[in-house]
């Protein structure tokens, strides 16, 4: 239990994003700055299903 020894929350994460193309996400945010997160999720799910062959 790390929180007993170090009660402060961690501010960094030492693990890269594994399933999200960060460049594509940055471009999407740039193109659609007012989009809701659920809209981005739907766009990514549609794109992922097209690429995976389901």
CA atoms in the 13 A half-sphere facing the CB of 10: 7
pLDDT given at position 35: 92
pLDDT given at position 50: 62
Query: Is the pTM of the predicted complex or chain greater than 0.85?
Result: no
How would you class 40 by CB atoms within 10 Å of its CB: exposed for 0-12, middle for 13-18, buried for 19 or more?
middle
Give 1-54 pLDDT, tens digit per residue. Answer: 666 777 777 778 787 767 778 888 899 899 999 999 998 888 777 666 665 554
């Amino acid at each position: 239990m790390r929180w007993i020894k170090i009660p402060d929350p961690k501010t960094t994460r030492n693990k890269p994003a594994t399933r999200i193309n960060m460049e594509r996400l940055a471009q999407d945010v740039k193109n659609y700055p007012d989009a809701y997160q659920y809209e981005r999720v739907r766009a990514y799910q549609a794109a992922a299903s097209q690429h995976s062959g389901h």
